Amino acid sequence: GLIIWVSIPFVIAFSAGTFAIFYGVLFFLNPPELKIERAKTTGMVRDLIDGFQYSFSHQGISFLLISLSVTALFIRPYIDLLPGVSAQIFDLGAEGLSILLAATGLGAMLGAIWLAQRGRTDGLTNIFTWSLLISAISILLFIISGNIWVGAVLIAIVGFFIVLGAITSQTLIQSAVDTGIRARVISITMVLAWGLPAVGALGMGWIAEFLGLPFTLALGGALTVLLWLWAHRTGKQLAPILEGSLDP
């Protein structure tokens, strides 16, 4: 919302400053390090291949990675498309964009706080799968809302459940993965989490040129609902593996 009152360069500098604070906090953290015996590395490419092979041979982790990939392509690109949403759906410019981004951030922050105070892994698989459905339905309702403030509430719900999905999936992966290969698997999830939304935004932007932005976003939401039909059933079966009570 700062772009309404101050210059864009100031907002960018302010954002960079917040990241500097975050990195400063990380620098002064001193977590205990575990000594892990592992085979000598054979190179970055080999490590990456091993990480993919392990991830997709593990029932629970492969389930999470597939689900995350689909939502990264079909739901999360909405953030990059919000300037167009503000202009085409709500007939607003920077003011509408700032409201929608602020609402997304507020929802995401509340989601992270709620999950942090919950403090346990049991039930996380169920939260993850339901986050897919609720975020998709909220996107569909957001498109037809027609009012910026109703849209802001709905997009805050999207932000809330996207963060729930992201945090629960990371927690479940770190809980289920073997310690010796954890870093490689987490690096793969980071590639998917940061790279695929950009690919999705490019693809959805291209489709929107022909079908319109509202229809394109609705299509992404509908495809995610279809994913949930599979993920909800599969997640129930894999919850014991992901939450630590069974081996994969």
CATH code, domain carrying 200: 1.20.1250.20
Q: What is the mean pLDDT of each run of 10 residues along the chain (248 residues)?
A: 68 80 80 56 74 86 91 91 90 86 93 88 90 95 92 95 92 85 84 87 92 92 93 90 66
Residue 6 shares a structural domain with residue 75: no
CA atoms within 13 A on the CB side of 223: 17
Domains of the chain: total: 2
Return the pLDDT at 38. 53
**Domain around 196:** 47-242
Residue 138 shares a structural domain with residue 27: no
Does the residue 38 lie in any domain? Answer: no
Q: Please state the pTM of the whole predicted model.
A: 0.83
Residue 58 shares a structural domain with residue 164: yes
Does the residue 41 lie in any domain? Answer: no
How far is Cα 240 from Cα 142, in angstroms, rounded to an integer? 35
Residue 17 shares a structural domain with residue 111: no
40: DSSP letter: P
For tokens 């080999």, name the residue. Answer: 46
Residue 9 shares a structural domain with residue 59: no
- In this structure, are residues 157 and 138 in contact, taking their beta carbons and an 8 Å threshold? yes
Return the pLDDT at 112. 92
How far is Cα 150 from Cα 141, in angstroms, rounded to an integer? 9
How far is Cα 191 from Cα 223, in angstroms, rounded to an integer? 22
Residue 26 shares a structural domain with residue 120: no
Return the pLDDT at 128. 94
Return the pLDDT at 94. 80
- Cα distance from N-terminal residue to C-terminal residue, the chain: 46
Return the pLDDT at 35. 55
H/E element, 99 = helix 94-118
